[in-house]
């Protein structure tokens, strides 16, 4: 069995975003019916309900822990946390800066690709994760690995990381290089299973496109949490909140002939849940035509605090 908690369902900036007055942010900020606020994307996974691993660590992690009792200290006195590790899917601000909230002397294992581990190493502020207490482990692609606590205790959670089409973190882009200097291990997704093999799901908060080999990998899956960033590739421009398309940001859109809903239609995935949803995306509001279309195609829109047992 696996327990999954959605800590944050929003993309970078959350919903509403602090400086955004797009139609969706305006409605969410006003608390209109059919809206909820969202923090930045992250889930927590556990096989035993006691030891939890974060998949990505958002800048909202402190607030997320305050909202979710399963992640709070419970040892009667002194310091304790059920969070025993974190697995990173890229080096984006919305996925790594929560590590700073986990400072300082708490035993943790941080899993990431060699590329992302280098990003953490090169940024000395991450040394607030005291190396005496926090072990940084590199992940090999396409190689199943049982997550362990810093002390080496087996968790019952197996991850298999694999590269997906994507882009290097925005703040690391090299304008002069092809695809801004992105390398395969800059953006990965996770296949997460229970050690007994009975439960398996995918966590994929950033995916730029769906090549045939990725579609094949996902075919028939029980559950996929998938990049829900934008409904339309041009959504940021249309809302006058930015100039970048989804394609430029490394995110495939929900709608359209090459979009996520169309790509998943033939795959027979049993449960499909959007996560990492940008504040401009109309699927964030219940009852919009876009939300209705996504739901009619079998998609769920994750929300902060959502619980899934698999
Ligand atoms: C993304 O998902 O594209 C990034 O989180 C963007 C950002 O760093 O703001
Ligand atoms: Mn993001
Ligand atoms: Zn907005």
- Which of 10, 12, 89, 206 best tests ligand 1's pocket when mutated (most atoms within 8 Å of CB)? 12
Is the model's pLDDT at 276 over the cut of 90?
A: yes
Q: How confident is the model at residue 235 (pLDDT cuts 50, 70, 90)?
A: very high
Confidence of residue 196 (pLDDT cuts 50, 70, 90): very high
Tell me the backbone φ, ψ of residue 37, rounded to 5 degrees: -80, 155
Residue 104: pLDDT above 90?
A: no
Domain ranges of the chain: 3-305
Q: Radius of gyration of the chain from Cα atoms?
A: 18
Cβ–Cβ contacts within 10 Å for residue 258, how many?
13
Q: Specify the CATH class of 3-305 in words.
A: alpha beta
Mutate to test the pocket of ligand 1, among 10, 41, 92 (most ligand atoms within 8 A of CB): 92
Is the pLDDT reported for residue 231 higher than 90?
Answer: yes
pLDDT above 90 (res 77): no
Q: Look at the pTM and tell me if it is higher than 0.95.
A: yes
Residue among 94, 186, 276 whose CB has most ligand 1 atoms within 8 A, to mutate: 94
Alpha carbon of 98 to those of 150, 176, 267, 272: distances in Å?
A: 18, 30, 34, 26
203 C-alpha to ligand 2 centroid (Å)? 14
**What percentage of the chain carries pLDDT values higher than 90?**
97
Q: Tell me the CA distances in angstroms from 226 to 101, 105, 289, one per residue in order.
A: 25, 33, 20
What mean pLDDT do residues 198-221 have?
Answer: 98
Mean pLDDT of the chain: 97
103-111 average pLDDT score: 93
H helices of 44-179, in order, are 61-67, 93-96, 114-122
State the distance from the centre of ligand 2 to the C-alpha of 251, rounded, in angstroms. Answer: 9
Reported confidence tier of residue 59, pLDDT bands at 50, 70, 90: very high
Q: Which pLDDT tens digit goes with each residue over 138-195? A: 999 999 999 999 889 999 999 999 999 999 999 999 999 999 999 999 999 999 999 9
Mean pLDDT computed over 111-116: 98
Name residues with Cβ closer than 5 Å to ligand 2, which is an ion: 11-12, 92, 94
Kindly state the average pLDDT of the residues 249-259. Answer: 98
Given the CA of residue 250, which atom of ligand 1 is nearest to it?
3
Residue nearest to atom 9 of ligand 1 (CA): 12
């Amino acid at each position: 069995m696996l327990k999954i908690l959605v800590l944050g369902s929003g993309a970078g900036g959350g919903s509403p975003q602090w400086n955004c007055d797009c139609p969706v942010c305006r409605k969410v900020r006003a608390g209109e019916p059919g809206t909820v606020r969202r923090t930045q994307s992250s889930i927590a996974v556990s096989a035993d309900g006691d030891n939890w691993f974060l998949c990505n660590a958002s800048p909202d992690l402190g607030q997320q822990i305050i909202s979710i009792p399963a992640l709070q200290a419970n040892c009667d006195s002194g310091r304790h946390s059920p969070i025993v590790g974190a697995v990173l899917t890229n080096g984006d601000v919305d996925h790594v800066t929560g590590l700073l909230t986990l400072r300082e002397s708490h035993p943790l294992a941080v899993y990431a690709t060699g590329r992302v581990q280098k990003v953490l190493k090169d940024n000395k502020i991450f040394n607030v994760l005291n190396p005496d207490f926090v072990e940084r482990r590199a992940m090999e692609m396409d190689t199943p690995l049982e997550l362990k606590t810093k002390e080496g205790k087996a968790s019952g959670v197996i991850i298999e990381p694999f590269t997906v089409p994507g882009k290097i973190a925005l703040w690391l882009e090299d304008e002069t290089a092809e695809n801004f200097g992105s390398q395969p291990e800059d953006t990965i997704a996770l296949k997460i299973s229970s050690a007994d093999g009975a439960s398996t799901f995918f966590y994929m908060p950033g995916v730029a496109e769906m090549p045939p080999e990725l579609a094949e990998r996902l075919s028939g899956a029980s559950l996929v949490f998938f990049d829900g960033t934008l409904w339309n590739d041009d959504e940021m421009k249309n809302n006058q909140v930015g100039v970048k398309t989804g394609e430029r940001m490394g995110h495939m859109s929900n709608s359209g002939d090459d979009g996520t809903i169309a790509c998943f239609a033939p795959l027979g995935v049993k449960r499909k849940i959007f996560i990492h949803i940008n504040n401009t995306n109309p699927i964030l509001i219940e009852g919009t035509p876009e939300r209705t279309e996504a739901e009619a195609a079998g998609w769920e829109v994750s929300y902060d605090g959502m619980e899934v047992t698999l």
